[in-house]
Structure 1
């Protein structure tokens, strides 16, 4: 039987990039397709959409938010150092490029045999402790220094930090899980899983806003995100080509926080009270000062009694770049739900992921401002935290982090 791709695109369109990433034949419909030359039924657009692995920046930063996500941190085993880490990143990069193009690892588990790439992205980063483990402290970025303590933190150290970080996103749950399992298996003997978190977003086609979603509080989330078309977008989100250290050129820093939403007290509020806390209408995300979701927030507007329309402690006011010296970050989160407690309260909230060129100019000043007086703080709890240096994308023939590990 001719060799076929594990995720062979079952249409003549969208198959580019899958050639050469095949293994031995499989049974069922896919095996029949290979044996007869019958291309089979077309995949939906959501299945055949692919994202390039190689490029100036790593995928999964400006990629439109996907329906499913997994975050995983790994710690190098005690006898693994720089050489072993380089070999792991080489393996991981090859696997990620293969999977994102719809290909098949040689030791494939068969989890997603009949699926297309489904917008799969795999992103890699390094934690502060990675540089100690590999003897590379001389080139550890100052921007990777541990985040300061915040008064709202209730952090679980076992679900925080880590030597290595992997972010996986896809528009199909099996494709996302398959990538996670493949990456985890490839780390055996070099790095152990420290923690994993799984999340979700709206499915493609469920909303007309591909870069805006609703969180589990029912609020439109991400409206004021920097946009790739903004003149200062790259300056805010990516390390410049001549940045320091040199191996971080075109990279970014990811702040990861597991933020539990205290949904029982939140849902006891009226819709008007919830809108006051946020400063936006729940129905369409428009600011309380009027307009549509994308209308500027008028922080100076007052009502008929002379009171601010946007309350002094409203979340939208406290987080506004206008009140934070222009500080901004690209938020690209997933929602999560991990069951219910004995009291029936949901363990649910946000896997917050914020991208910026420098966390001391992005996340830190905004979070300090939130610490000093944000009406939303009463309804959330930060339970895990991590910061990772995410180097620039790998060129063809390179692996992610090669300039660090072989520099």
Structure 2
């Protein structure tokens, strides 16, 4: 699927991001090795333990290499926290995600936020390498390796007012407009600070969230939290684009890092309209989108395909040859045997096509969620939509406006929570996330 309200998340094995991520992945040290073999010194005596921990912490993990295959290799895969861009944007999508937003406590100002961000950055660095947290370690992930853990931070518009930095708030962080049929719960959206935690193991992701939450105590309180999932690496015989809870191949037309102009679509450029501190960063739109699965699953498959504009079996566009695949270019002029459009006028891929939206594009990393049943017995399930972009005013907003007016898929979706965050650039080894803003 192709768009902002759709369930279109990049597949890590096919979207071209894997090559970039491989350069950042390394086995590193794991909680298992630190607290097991080498970590035995931590409990022998205070002096010996401290020396052992220090030596292990500073050890150079060596040149990066990617773990291969499923099984133990998944646990060894690591994504470095430091880099030009924050981790968790370009890397292959993990199997699990924890999303959370925090609100600052009363009276907390710029200094308090700066201290928290230093603390979080130091801890995220350790956890991404598979090391135990330096504070509030809870042993939830004691036996696991890094499991491709990434921690990505964002700043909500309200943070700038509460820290006296309103003059540095990016123009792209203006509130998203109201869209037709939105049913947003303010308590499950927005927030001063946003955290995206991805990992290939659920316990590793939960561990990271619990540690960060406890470290924030007294400075920021959890506003909302959500859990999501995607296909686990190695679950299919070979690299395949994943599917969403509607059963659709999901992520076909995501922009790819090897495409011309990719960076301009996703990252803020230096010297442009946005403030200098955000150069190399991005904007993230979050939407919790419930799928009306009972209604959707009541449609015959051929009708589902016409709503989307693609075959459900292989993701190929309607009107394409029988041996075509999902990467086959969409022919929007193709006709069915009866002379009608093969891709209906309100089909999702037609309405969402970049060509129909002034070239607007976003890098989507959506995760499915399933939180049981609602009071009426229908599934509380759908998509945790995440889209990184250089400017939401030119990406998400115009596309969503068009989808809300004419997308046949909208009849089967309910937007129930929303957030917009400025994602600062990456972190240097001696810095902390958001340093370009706060200093």
| Shared fold, TM over 0.5 | yes
Q: CA deviation at 1:117?
A: 0.3
Task: Say what the alpha-carbon RMSD is for the aligned residues.
Answer: 2.1
Q: CA deviation at 1:219?
A: 0.6
Residue of structure 2 aligned with 1:249, choices 254, 261, 279: 279
Query: Is 1:317 aligned to 2:350, yes or no?
Result: yes
8 Å CA contact 1:64, 1:210 repeated in 2: no
CA distance in 1, matches of 2:204, 2:102: 21
Deviations 1:326-352 (A, max 9, x none): 011111011001111233211000000
Residue of structure 1 aligned with 2:90, choices 58, 62, 69: 62
8 Å CA contact 2:30, 2:76 repeated in 1: no
Question: Which runs of structure 2 are paired with 1:111-122 in the superposition (5 Å)?
Answer: 111-122=140-151
Distance 1:43 1:311, change over 3 A: closer
CA distance in 2, matches of 1:87, 1:96: 14
8 Å CA contact 1:254, 1:356 repeated in 2: yes
Query: Is 1:345 aligned to 2:378, yes or no?
Result: yes
**Residue in 1 aligned with 2:257?**
228
Distance 1:246 1:210, change over 3 A: farther
Q: Structure 1 stretches (4+) deviating beyond 6 angstroms?
A: none
Q: CA deviation at 1:242?
A: 2.9
Residue of structure 2 aligned with 1:149, choices 162, 174, 178: 178
**Residue in 1 aligned with 2:65?**
none
**Residue in 2 aligned with 1:370?**
403
8 Å CA contact 1:122, 1:166 repeated in 2: yes
**Residue in 2 aligned with 1:44?**
72
8 Å CA contact 1:254, 1:355 repeated in 2: yes
CA distance in 1, matches of 2:106, 2:423: 23
Structure 2: any 5+ residue segments left out of the alignment?
1-24, 44-51, 53-69
CA distance in 2, matches of 1:259, 1:61: 20
Does the residue aligned with 2:330 lie in a helix, a strand or coil?
coil
Q: CA deviation at 1:285?
A: 1.0
Distance 1:17 1:249, change over 3 A: farther
8 Å CA contact 2:27, 2:78 repeated in 1: no
Query: Is 1:100 aligned to 2:128, yes or no?
Result: yes
Residue of structure 2 aligned with 1:288, choices 313, 318, 322: 318
Deviations 1:290-345 (A, max 9, x none): 12111111111112332111000000101100111101111101100111123321
Q: CA deviation at 1:67?
A: 0.6
8 Å CA contact 1:211, 1:222 repeated in 2: no
**Residue in 1 aligned with 2:169?**
140
8 Å CA contact 1:240, 1:249 repeated in 2: yes
**Residue in 1 aligned with 2:230?**
201
8 Å CA contact 1:18, 1:101 repeated in 2: yes
Q: CA deviation at 1:212?
A: 2.9
CA distance in 2, matches of 1:43, 1:105: 24
Distance 1:209 1:168, change over 3 A: farther
Does the residue aligned with 2:218 lie in a helix, a strand or coil?
coil
CA distance in 2, matches of 1:132, 1:17: 40
**Residue in 2 aligned with 1:279?**
309
Q: CA deviation at 1:105?
A: 1.6
CA distance in 1, matches of 2:277, 2:95: 31
CA distance in 1, matches of 2:347, 2:298: 18
CA distance in 1, matches of 2:325, 2:27: 40
CA distance in 2, matches of 1:404, 1:211: 39
Q: CA deviation at 1:15?
A: 5.0
Does the residue aligned with 1:213 lie in a helix, a strand or coil?
coil
**Residue in 2 aligned with 1:7?**
none
Deviations 1:97-146 (A, max 9, x none): 10001111233100111101000000000001000110100010010000
**Residue in 2 aligned with 1:330?**
363
CA distance in 1, matches of 2:377, 2:338: 42
**Residue in 2 aligned with 1:189?**
218
Deviations 1:169-223 (A, max 9, x none): 0000110110111111110010000000100001111136768321100011111
Residue of structure 1 aligned with 2:336, choices 303, 308, 313: 303
Does the residue aligned with 1:220 lie in a helix, a strand or coil?
coil
Does the residue aligned with 1:174 lie in a helix, a strand or coil?
helix
CA distance in 2, matches of 1:22, 1:193: 30
Single out whichever of 338-347 and 213-222 deviates more from structure 2. Answer: 338-347
Number of residue pairs the alignment of both structures matches: 381
CA distance in 1, matches of 2:28, 2:305: 47
Does the residue aligned with 1:378 lie in a helix, a strand or coil?
helix
Q: CA deviation at 1:14?
A: 5.8
